[in-house]
Amino acid sequence: MFTLRNLRAQLETWLHENPHWLRDRGVLALDMVRLEWADIAAFDGKAKPALRPEDLLEVDAAKLQLGIQPYVQLLELHYPVDDLLLEVKDGDDTPDPASNAVQERRKHSKVRAVAKLEPEQIFLAVHRLDFSVYLRRVESEEFALLRALRRGKTVERAIEMAFRRSLVPAADRAAFVQHSFQTWATLGWFWRPDTNVRGGKVHAERA
């Protein structure tokens, strides 16, 4: 069965066979390792009781702070290792040995193709939902907002920081923030003080 560990092993093998790429493309291997660790952390991480609407009653909006669930992992990547994972995973469960050989060649081809890409900024949230793990790309503003909230910034301050260098037009920012917060609340990413729960099996998919 295909796993993130298998993909990392293939990547390490390819880099070993092509050492001239290692100096410039070692970042790709690091991205893969970080994705693997995030997958494990999202799977095993604690889940605090989700925030409820009544938890926000009588809260001073200017001082409002929202916690981000410990199992939500925020990654700033340089290569599309999330897409690579999903592409090489497709068709991995075939029982036919001949088909397996074809799949292995296809996986190596995918790794080589990604290794030749120019680096770019990719923001990824790895999270758990209904006992499964998902990979969800987010915009740079979402990433900055989530990271600021996790660092204990108030909602007001976090929004200010997220749009400091943003290209999102000022007129569209309120709707952007509203949509983001609604999405995260639906996914259960916000927590309220209470006891901890945990658990779940893992599936790597795009949410």
The predicted-structure confidence for 95-139, as pLDDT tens digits, reads as follows 555 566 666 677 777 777 887 888 899 999 999 998 899 999 999
Higher-confidence residue of 128 and 21: namely: 128
What torsion do the CA atoms of 10, 13, 19, 20 make, to the nearest 10 degrees?
-30
DSSP letters along 39-82, please? HHHHHH--BPPBP-GGGGTT--GGG---EEPTT-EEEEESS-HH
Q: What pTM value is reported for the model?
A: 0.76
Enumerate the domain spans of the chain.
4-200
Mean pLDDT of 201-205: 41
High-pLDDT (> 70) share of the chain, %: 72
Q: Is 135 exposed, middle or buried (0-12, 13-18, 19+ CB in 10 A)?
A: buried
